Amino acid sequence: MFFGPSILELVSKNKVYVLCLSIGNESGLGEIRKKELEASCISFGINIENVTCLDHPLLQDGPTNVWDVELISEILDYHVNKNDVDMQETP
């Protein structure tokens, strides 16, 4: 909630990608939440083409849902490699 200054700093010096692992559909508002995320990213200057919001059947939003750590790791690895993300600090 208070990451605005950090995001702006990152965007000013780097190509930023956003990966959201769930559309947040626990209350049936998933498409609205997805559009809110995209709008937020645009307002921070993040290219919409660099924003991915997943709706994986095993990563559904909900207070009792437990997400598989291995699945998350695989998804992160895939997207880091797909986008050729360099996670080194920019001087």
pLDDT tens-digit readout, 41-70: 999 999 999 999 999 999 999 999 999 999
Identify which of 10, 24, 6 has the alpha carbon closest to the alpha carbon of residue 63.
24
- Does some domain include residue 88? no
Cα(5)–Cα(64) distance, rounded to whole angstroms? 32
Residue 90: per-residue pLDDT: 60
> Looking at the domain assignment, is residue 1 inside a domain?
no
Decide if 87 is inside a domain.
no
**Is 24 a residue whose pLDDT tops 80?**
yes
Host H or E run for residue 34:
helix 30-43
Q: Is the pTM of this model over 0.85?
A: yes
pLDDT at 21: 97
CB 83 within 8 A of CB 75: no
* Residue 38 pLDDT class (50, 70, 90 cuts): very high
pLDDT at 1: 60
Does residue 66 fall inside a structural domain?
yes
Position 90 in a domain = no
Q: Report the number of distinct structural domains present in the chain.
A: 1
Residue 9 lies in a domain: no
